[in-house]
Structure 1
Amino acid sequence: MQLRRFRGRDMMKVMDQVSASLGPDAMILRTTETEPFAGYGSVVEVTAGSGADVERLRETLFVDAQAPSREKGQRPRILAFVGPAGGGKTTAVLKLMADAAAHGDVRIGVLTLDTFRAGALEEIVAHGRVHRTPLEVAYTEKEVDSSLRRLRSRDAILVDTPGMGRFEDDDWVEMLRSTKPDETHLVLPATLRRDVAAGILARAERLRPTHLLLTHLDELPGDVGLADLMMALGIPSRWVSSGARVDQSLAPAAGRGFRSLGLAAPSPEPMLEVV
């Protein structure tokens, strides 16, 4: 999605510019007017986008990003988190462990495959104890199977993974596939350039990402580019993350994405519903 800004002294003339540039389906996202200053008159600024682009954003954020549901007696929903080292995968898992509001009245379990990064295992074990969340650690594909059996009473299982490098070591990739995740969230810093993020997404295709989870939003100067990045990558997004502190909850992606366009978003669904 390409947002355009139009400025002028007269609102009607600015709107004429919008129509001439974007056509009859243009959607006005934001209108501001500066106060007169030092003898200069006020300036009108209109931010607009194509109506078709805005509709595609709605589809990206909502069609496939609705909360999954599980009937009692079925296997737990499995949500995997993948992405480059330092992108915020483990932090996202810890935030979901800590934030009951993110997933409603759902029993969470955690399986970690990240046995490579120094301190990662100790960190997630410590938080598991604090939040009384069952935690399994798997080093082999066989251990993945036994870990999932021990977590089968949970409603949802969050799977943490090592940093996505060049896949020199494919063992953990096969271990992840053996979990048969219902969702695979690609965790990326929102500060990445679009071309860099697109390159990572292309490399992650073998992991079959189903959702995008943007992190480090607190490092952005504003949210204006957020919807652009979501649109460029083109996969559904349920959550976004600001800050590395675990007590800073994940936020609904729809809310931040649409607010970045000056639009209202519906109330978010919980992560998982047991029916």
Structure 2
Amino acid sequence: MTLAHLSDVHFGRISDERVVDALVAEVNDADLDLVVVSGDLTQRARTKEFKAARAMLDSFEAPVIVVPGNHDVRAWWHNPFDRLWRSSKRYRKYIAEDVTPQFAVEGLAAFGLNSAHGWTIKGGRIRPEHVDEMEAFFDRQPADVFRVLTVHHHLLLLDGLGNHDISHGARLALEAARRARVDLVLCGHLHTSHVAPVELAPAGDADAGHRLVIASAGTATSNRGRGTDRGVNFYNWVEIGPGEFSVCERQFDPDSGLFDTARTTTFARSDAPA
């Protein structure tokens, strides 16, 4: 199976007038099984930005699951009441009413975890009831299914990304992901493309450990890349086989107006037979 992972689209700050069409065309030409969008579809949660994001999502031929990012909730200076009590009103109207989306077919199960709501701004906050919902969803799946969790903010500090935000409630979510045997976490927020394996083990019980992979997507279409990815657009292409899976980081080339492969990293599946 193959899925596309894009994040931090930021309509309102699109980097190149060709990049959205190039992204949609490549995803549709690949005949993917799923498109995962890990938040920040808009720059300022404006209606016109949400409408543009909705048009892009409707252009994908594959099923799509989306979670909101911190830029998709109302800014507190516009309306403090909306920020606290109706922060995702426009997101729910134009993108999706469900902020913890689920997708399951034979061989693949994906769950979206919401980390953007209320007063939370940059770091994100994950609610315990959403973690329970995520764990219950994966508990219902066959033992050998490939398990994907998507969330906008990061769940732990990755050395390769320097000092960065960690979502409130991340420890609870990460422990649940270990118990649920999640294979791959798809996130964004930092506007830097980075893929890394992480070994998880509860305190004092190394035998109950589990390795998962975290793929942090760069900004798919905006001009807000950071660090070494400043001015660069990335999205991920995930190919899942019976014994291994790979994460291909696709980079937009302004000269050709197309995406090219920047890096591909392959991992053995944790549920693969010995």
> What's the TM-score once normalised by structure 2's chain length?
0.34
Q: When you count strand as a share of all residues, which structure comes out higher?
A: 2
What's the TM-score, normalizing by structure 1? 0.34
The structure whose RCO (Cα within 8 Å, separation 6+) is larger is: 1
